[in-house]
Amino acid sequence: MNSFQIVQQPAKKSRRLFVYIVCGVIVAVTFLAIILAVIPLNSEPECDPNDFKTNNFTQSRIINGQEAVPHSYPWLVSIRYYNYGHICGGSIIHKRWILTAGHCVKKYQVSSGAYQIIVGLHDRNEYDFSNVYNVIEAYSEFNEFNIFSKDIALLKLDRDIVFNKNVALIKLSESESKNFIGKCLVTAGWGSISKTFEQKLPNKLQQTFVRVIDDDQKCRIENKWNKESVFCVKSSSKNPYSMTCSGDSGGPLVSFNSKTNTWFLEGVTSYVVAEVSYDSKTRCLYKRPGFFSKVYSNRYYILNILNNY
């Protein structure tokens, strides 16, 4: 028999280190899943690709997403752990700093050279070693015993990032989260594209639209959703079977201002509802909400680290 649990989403190198299960909520989440299954989606306008200066979203992995145009998200990086390959995404917010999810890194492992950042990727297996940077410090207030808040981390690199047409910064959010309710945003990553219990990471970067919602009945998992600091999103009606999954953690949730031709980092991929099999394998449930830490709510903390360390 399978059950539903809440998981955070690094690509697995070991369950003990990177898959966080919230104890005591199996029944509650199962009940939520039943509720969600019978609530019809409200009619809503389609997410319009013309709102974004990016590729055409006409196809229907992320799960059920679409391959991104190469280097259309030049701030997106791959986080690697020793020789395990890709575990999480992250965003370049400064020439020496990456913003990612707190659960993606263990601060005590940073000094051992455990983590590397690769910039300028489209195919996660094809890169130049000049685009590889070592993480030398990590700052985070994330607590693995309370995964529903403060799930961000700032990673300092061993040298300045070299910027070019495929490697660039993204601006931090300048808008309060309430301005995005009902709006479509974009997320991207190299997370699992499998609908089964066997994890399968794509080689090419995937992207999808999601819509920000403010629905307590759909978003509250055991009353743990903190709407002040976490976005709750659902798949867009244009692609209703697409959501983040294992390996997408730490990646960006972004908006685009067409008037100023500017991208903004609004959220950091945090956790999803997943089904857990009898042998403890997980499968992301793409019809359930996804959750992203709000950048604007953490802006003071982020800027304090950037300015003082």
Residue 249 annotated among the catalytic residues of the structure: yes
Residue with the bigger pLDDT between 226 and 3: it is: 226
The reported pLDDT for the residue numbered 109 is 86
Q: Residue 97, SS3?
A: strand
The amino acid that residue 272 corresponds to is: V
Annotated catalytic residue within 86, 103, 140, 297: 103
Annotated catalytic residue within 140, 151, 248, 255: 151
pLDDT for 180 beyond 70: yes
Residue with the bigger pLDDT between 88 and 38: it is: 88
Annotated catalytic residue within 249, 255, 293, 297: 249
pLDDT, average across residues 276-294 = 74
The reported pLDDT for the residue numbered 195 is 60
Number of H helices, E strands in the chain: 5, 16
The reported pLDDT for the residue numbered 96 is 98
Question: pLDDT per residue over 217-258, tens digit each?
Answer: 778 765 677 888 999 988 765 554 455 676 788 999 999 998
The reported pLDDT for the residue numbered 308 is 92
Domains of the chain, first to last:
3-69+170-296 (2.40.10.10), 76-169+300-308 (2.40.10.10)
Average pLDDT, the chain: 77
CA 140 vs CA 143, 171, 301: distances in Å: 9, 20, 10
pLDDT, average across residues 185-209 = 78
The reported pLDDT for the residue numbered 299 is 95
pTM for this model (two decimals): 0.79
pLDDT, average across residues 171-191 = 87
Residue 177 annotated among the catalytic residues of the structure: no
The reported pLDDT for the residue numbered 174 is 92
The token pair at 45 is 């306008």
| Pairwise CA distance, residues 259 & 278, whole Å | 51
Q: Computed over its alpha carbons, how large is the radius of gyration of the chain? A: 18
Cross-strand partners of 8: 271
CA 223 vs CA 25, 29, 61, 191, 233: distances in Å: 10, 10, 29, 27, 16
Count the helix, strand and coil residues of the chain and give each as a percent rounded to the nearest 5: 15, 35, 50
**Angle 140-145-151 (CA atoms, 0-180°, nearest 5)?**
35
The reported pLDDT for the residue numbered 135 is 96
Question: pLDDT per residue over 104-150, tens digit each?
Answer: 998 888 887 899 999 999 998 888 999 999 999 999 998 887 777 88
- State which of 64-68, 73-77, 103-107 shows the largest mean pLDDT: 73-77
CA 84 vs CA 81, 88, 137, 148: distances in Å: 6, 11, 20, 26
The reported pLDDT for the residue numbered 236 is 62
Residue 71 annotated among the catalytic residues of the structure: no
Question: pLDDT per residue over 11-52, tens digit each?
Answer: 654 333 333 322 222 223 332 232 223 323 344 556 666 555
pLDDT for 59 beyond 60: no
Cβ contact 165:74 at 8 Å? yes
Residue with the bigger pLDDT between 234 and 161: it is: 161
Chain Cα centroid distance, residue 24: 24
Q: Over pLDDT 70: what percentage of the chain?
A: 67
The least confident of 160-164, 238-242, 283-287 is 238-242
The reported pLDDT for the residue numbered 144 is 80
